[in-house]
Amino acid sequence: MPDPVQVEEAGGILTITINRPEVRNAINLAVAQGVAAALDRLETRTDLMVGIITGAGDTFSAGMDLKAFVRGERPGLPGRGLAGICEAPPRKPMIAAVEGWALAGGFEIALACDLIVASTSARFGLPEVKRGLVAAAGGLLRLPRRLPPHVAMELALTGDPISAEDGYRLGLVNRLTEPGQALAGARELAGRITTNGPLAVAVSKRILTESVDWPTGEAFGRQAPLVAAVLDSADAREGATAFAEKRAPVWTGR
């Protein structure tokens, strides 16, 4: 039986592929375990800077494997949530490369990522209410931060999908590609990130993510020690030196 999660490394980018196309990449426990192991690799390896998650074939993911659920299997991990990512995204940037449908838990995986690259054939939806369920793997928590609140409310209450084109227009999708090219587009975007200082990228993501909940009067104070650690790093000195010497920087992540 093929591995339910495939992992590739190239150029500082870790690509995670949910590999169950015969069931529209539905998420079971094996997928959750495979994704979690891949994310651990991303987090601990200094030579890996950006992660991409995608689905095999023409579907990103149809969400939880309902047949496995009926058998008593849960497609999440304690502290990490659905698919091993929804409750605890990695510290490093994650890009979702979406072809076809990203439904229910599949959409929630994409929402757990920092950036979304989607082909024009992609569709996103939280249809849980149509089945008497609730999008509890982060969909209801993250969607209002990625779309205008009233648009998010309509999607959550009707369960109707949104097209990639509308998602792009509303800011949900970062980049559109031709069908079949979402992964290539995600890798191009990831490559632009990997040319930058890894410490600066990681801290920038952290501040952008956490500052949403910071009181306005405390924001600069909370940011200061995070920025100071970057300014005191060898990478910061290397970036300035490389600029002065008109060459590409050589990052060490320190």
pLDDT tens profile 182-236:
999 999 999 999 999 999 999 999 999 999 999 999 999 999 999 999 999 999 9
Question: Tell me, what's the pLDDT at 10?
Answer: 96
pLDDT band of 163, cuts 50, 70, 90? very high
Q: What is the mean pLDDT of residues 83-100?
A: 97
Q: What is the mean pLDDT of residues 15-35?
A: 96
Question: Tell me, what's the pLDDT at 84?
Answer: 97
Question: Tell me, what's the pLDDT at 71?
Answer: 85
Active site residue 128: yes
Q: Catalytic: which of 9, 43, 108, 188?
A: 108
Question: Tell me, what's the pLDDT at 67?
Answer: 83
Percent of the chain surpassing pLDDT 70? 100
Active site residue 108: yes
Q: Which residue has the tokens 């539905």?
A: 26
Distance from CA of residue 231 to its chain's centroid? Answer: 27
Q: What is the mean pLDDT of residues 9-15?
A: 96
Return the H-helix or E-strand segment holding 214.
none
Is 70 exceeded by the pLDDT of residue 167? yes
Q: Which residue has the tokens 């023409």?
A: 58
Is 90 exceeded by the pLDDT of residue 69? no
User: From the CB of residue 45, how many other CB atoms can be counted at a distance below 10 Å?
Assistant: 13
Is 70 exceeded by the pLDDT of residue 1? no
Average pLDDT over the chain, rounded to whole?
95
Q: What is the mean pLDDT of residues 138-155?
A: 96
Question: Tell me, what's the pLDDT at 204?
Answer: 96
By the 8 A CB rule, do 7 and 41 touch?
yes
Q: Catalytic: which of 43, 128, 178, 245?
A: 128
Q: What is the mean pLDDT of residues 138-151?
A: 96
Residue 39 CA to residue 34 CA, distance in Å, equals 9
Pairing of strands 94-98, 115-119: parallel
